[in-house]
Amino acid sequence: MRRITPLRGIWRYAAAFGLVVGATLVAEGVYRLFDTDRLSMVFLAGVLITAVTLGSGPAYFAAATAFVIYDIYLVEPRFEFTMNSAEDYLVLSVFLAVAMLTGRLAGRVREAQGRAEVQARTAGALFRASEEFSSSDNEDAVRQALAQRIAEAGGGEAMVLHDSRSWSWPPGLAIPSALAELAARPASEAAARESGWRLRQLRADGVMVGAAAWRVTPLDDRPTDSPEDDEKLVYVLVDMAGAAIARFRLAAERAEMQARAQTEQLRNALLSSISHDLRTPLAAILASVTSLREFGDRFDAEVREDLTLTIQEEAERLNRFVANLLNMTKLESGALTIEGVSFGVAEVVGRVVQRVQRQAGARKVVSGIRPDDLAAFGDPILTEQALANVVENAVRFVPNGGRIEILGRSVGGKIVLEVVDDGPGVPEADLQMIFDKFFRSAATSASQQGTGLGLSISRGLVEAMGGEVFARPRGDGHSGLVVSVILPGAPS
C-alpha cells in the first residue's frame, strides 16, 4: 500500500467531504424534481465512490458525514439534527450501518487491489533483476545492474562500492567520503542511516564482495511504497546480486578445474605417446649401432647398408617427431613467426614427394602439379612441413600398392592443394575432429602408430599463414580421403 503523508491525508478527507457534498446536491435535485425523500441510495453511492477512490478511512468519514447531512437535510423537520420517532432511529441507524459496511467492503477491495499492484510491481522488479543478473557476463555488469535496480526500487539514487571502485545510478554520482569509509566497515548499516544513506553489504557465499548504498527521495516529493517494503525489496535485490556473483565465481572455478583436468589429460596422452614414439626409433638406432660396432666386420656389405639405412630412417623419424612437438609448442604459445614470400608450389610439393617416398614403400606418391604452374604466398618451409604431415598421414592408412596424389589449382586468387588417397577413408562424423590434437578415429587400426599431432600441426601452420585446411570424402565413388590445403596466392 502507498503510505500517505499528513498533507495528503487531509486532502483525501477533504475530497471525501466534497463527494458527500456532491451527493447532497444530487439528492436535492431529485428531491425537487420528484418530491421524494427516499434518497438514502444517493448518499450510499457517494460513500461507495469515496471508498473505491480514496480508501477505507475516507469512506468511514464520508459515511458519518452523510449520516449527519441526511438527518439534517432530509429528515423532517429539515435543517435540524433530530430523530422524533422510532422509525427515524431505525432508518438512520440502518443507513449508517449500510454506509459503514459499504465503505469498508469497497475500501478493502481497493486496498486489495493496491496490494496486488505492489506485489505485481515487486515481482516484475525481481524478475527483471533476475533476468539482468543472469544475462550479465561478469561481476561488474551485475554490480551496475544492481545499482540501477536499487535506484528504481527506492525512487532515488544508488551506488555499489567494491575495492575503491563504484557503480552508480544515475551514472556519475560522487561517492561521499563518509559513505566510502562506512562501506569498508563490517557493521556499518546503522551508521550509514545517520548520513542519510542506507547500506547493505553485498555477500557471495558468506564473503563480502562489496556494499550497496541508496538514498531515497523525500516522501513529500514522491508517491512511494512504505520504506519498510522498499527496504525489503532492496535487500532481496542485493541478495540476488550476491548469488549471481557467487555463480560467476563458481563457474570460473569450474572452468579452471575443467581446464586443469583437460591439461592433465593432454599431458598424460602426450607422455604416453612420447614414451612410445621416442623409445621405438631410439631402440632401433641403438640396436643397429650396437650391431655394427660389435659385429660390423662379420656382416656383409648388404647387411651393413641395411643397418645404416635403419639408423637414418629412425633418426629422421625421431627428428620429425621432435619437430612436430616444437611446432606445436610454438603454435600454442604464439611464438611462431611467419615471414611471407612468394614461392613455387611445384618445388615444395616435389620435396615433399621425395621426403616421403622411402616411407611410402610399395605405395605410390605422385605430384600432379607442373613446374612454375602455381605460386603461393607464405613460408615455403612451413608449407612443406604442413603438406608432408598430411601426406605421411595418408601413407599410414593407404594399403600397399595404393596411390596418393597431390593435386593443385588456383581458385579466386588462392592456391588449393589436395592430397587424394585411396585408403579406407574417415567416417563423416570424424572429418572435423581428425585435426584435433591426439584424436584417433574409431575406424583407425590400433596397430597404426602416431602421436595424433600431425594433422593438428598442419592446420595450425596453414592457418598461421592465412590459409585453411579441411577434409572430405572422395567424390568419384572410390573409398579414400581428400585433404585440402588452401594457401594465399602470390601477388601478381
Half-sphere exposure of residue 217, counting CA atoms within 13 Å on the CB side?
12
Structure confidence at residue 225 (pLDDT): 46
Structure confidence at residue 440 (pLDDT): 66
Structure confidence at residue 240 (pLDDT): 82
Cis peptide upstream of residue 488 (ω within 30 degrees of 0): no
Strand-strand pairing, 468-473 and 481-488: antiparallel
Work out the burial of residue 126: count CB atoms within 10 Å of its CB; fewer than 13 is exposed, 13-18 middle, 19 or more buried. middle
Identify the sign of the CA torsion 25, 26, 30, 36.
negative
Work out the burial of residue 74: count CB atoms within 10 Å of its CB; fewer than 13 is exposed, 13-18 middle, 19 or more buried. buried
Strand order in the sheet with 198-204: 165-169, 157-162, 207-215, 198-204
The pair phi, psi for residue 469, each rounded to 5°, is -135, 135
* Contacts for 360 with CB less than 8 Å, ≥ 6 apart: 395, 404
* Cell numbers found for residue 50: 469515496
Structure confidence at residue 74 (pLDDT): 64
The pLDDT averaged over each successive group of 10 residues in the chain (492 residues) is 47 82 83 73 77 76 77 63 57 65 70 70 73 77 82 76 80 70 56 64 78 66 54 80 83 83 68 64 85 82 85 80 70 68 90 84 86 84 87 88 90 91 84 75 55 77 88 85 91 78
Domains of the chain and any CATH numbers: 6-117 (no CATH), 137-250 (3.30.450.40), 341-488 (3.30.565.10)
Structure confidence at residue 181 (pLDDT): 64
Contact between 61 and 45 (Cβ < 8 Å): no
Structure confidence at residue 486 (pLDDT): 93
Rounded CA separation 444/427 (Å): 10
